[in-house]
Structure 1
């Protein structure tokens, strides 16, 4: 019994579907998350901030659109607030913009450089080289994040777990596993599924005080859900033994050094 879906219990597979929620009443809606709506006007505001550093190509605009929708799906209230704040601030003249504001990138671990290369100049408001970002990068190195769930009754049950090993060289390995068992009169059956997804990781700080972890992988399981290979998700808070999303869901964290 191969392939058991466990997306609903894993924070790395929380729904960030990039499907426009357009209707005949409001064709400008790009995505809806709960009571919040991301519109074309929000996208235009976001792109106008980026265009201060130079005109964007069609490919860059499309990439930025997909990234913004993914970020909105994860933290809609924070992203909309950030867009409003950014839009009301007067632009700062910059006659000689640096398309890659990364003076310390040559000193980064190889995996972090892989993620930044995949992003290119499409970094939006992400701040990679601040003290806050560096502190979070150090925290995540050699961290093992774990999540899992189980359910069942007299006729069977299922369990699933997800573990992500973050290494100091900027690489990561994700371990997914799921087990399903059925027991009814006259029949007993069980199935087990396990996958490993390797890739690279990097972190950044955001102006609203949150952190963001960026995963990048060309593994087919990543590309099935995220064609660019990039998966961003937000961290509302973290401590020695947990990492929490903005909605408060917590995930255990332990120190685990990579071999």
Structure 2
């Protein structure tokens, strides 16, 4: 509890009377290496500080406290997650087993995927430094792939394009959106069609012994079940960089980081 008690001593003197602003307790404040800091955990921390000082906090104080807690979390997510779990137990929140990492520090979507896999993980490594680093790399990221085709002949032409985007959220959920466009121009007739569909689900990431990584996506959406009857799609990543992800087949996805989910 050293860091949290330090913040309490440092900031307790500025806590003054005013009501606390209520927010969605499941909203994510920050995520790092598979650990998630939520509004519920901040509320627990704030309640602890207010109990120590005997006063309620102002809105300005809450903003400052949240910023400092976020900074402490990002510098040492595992320790802060453990300390917040201890605070929740102290303050009467549902009990959390400190020795069970998955109960208090893992994003809900990641936990769902791991529970689904159980012991059937083969050589996948979930808790190594490499896996944690890659999971952090994928969090709040959008991967995009696209293609187009144009054909022309005497008195006719056609054009088609498609795009796929997958957004990986900090809470362990994802949304894949597929969109397409088709236009046909022939003598005396023009036709255009376009549309899109979205598939939600859960994701988790792991390292492989050969140096590659894998994203495990799970969804009960009809589109997923059509190709994967168990709802699980392994997405193997051979190479990745600041702005790209490459599959073993050589197919490339454009990566856009810092795309935060609502």
TM, length-normalised to structure 1? 0.59
Q: Distance in 1 between matches of 2:169 and 2:235?
A: 18
Contact 1:145/1:252, CA 8 A, preserved across alignment: yes
Task: Give 1:93-108 correspondences, 5 Å limit.
Answer: 104-106=101-103, 107-108=105-106
For structure 2, the 5+ residue unaligned runs are 1-98
Matched residue, 1:133: 131
Contact 1:104/1:129, CA 8 A, preserved across alignment: no
Matched residue, 1:184: 186
Cα offsets for 1:4-35 (capped at 9, x unmatched): xxxxxxxxxxxxxxxxxxxxxxxxxxxxxxxx
Q: Distance in 2 between matches of 1:150 and 1:247?
A: 19
Matched residue, 2:201: 199
> In the superposition, relative to structure 1, how do residues 229 and 197 fare at CA in structure 2: closer, same or farther (>3 Å)?
same
| Greater C-alpha Rg | 2
Task: Give 1:246-257 correspondences, 5 Å limit.
Answer: 246-255=248-257, 256-257=259-260
Q: Distance in 1 between matches of 2:185 and 2:179?
A: 20
Runs of 4 or more, structure 1, over 2 Å off, are 102-106
For structure 1, the 5+ residue unaligned runs are 1-101
Q: Distance in 2 between matches of 1:131 and 1:105?
A: 16
Post-superposition offset of 1:166:
0.5
Picking from 134, 141, 146, the partner of 1:148 is 146
Q: Distance in 2 between matches of 1:120 and 1:195?
A: 31
Name which structure has the greater RCO, CA cutoff 8 Å, separation 6+. Answer: 1
Tell me the number of residue pairs that the alignment of Structure 1 and Structure 2 aligns.
Answer: 158
Post-superposition offset of 1:104:
2.9
Matched residue, 1:109: 107
Contact 1:161/1:178, CA 8 A, preserved across alignment: yes
Q: Distance in 1 between matches of 2:100 and 2:251?
A: 35
Post-superposition offset of 1:117:
1.4
Task: Give 1:8-157 correspondences, 5 Å limit.
Answer: 104-106=101-103, 107-154=105-152, 155-157=157-159
Task: Give 1:216-227 correspondences, 5 Å limit.
Answer: 216-227=218-229
Report the aligned-residue RMSD.
1.3
Q: Distance in 2 between matches of 1:204 and 1:132?
A: 8
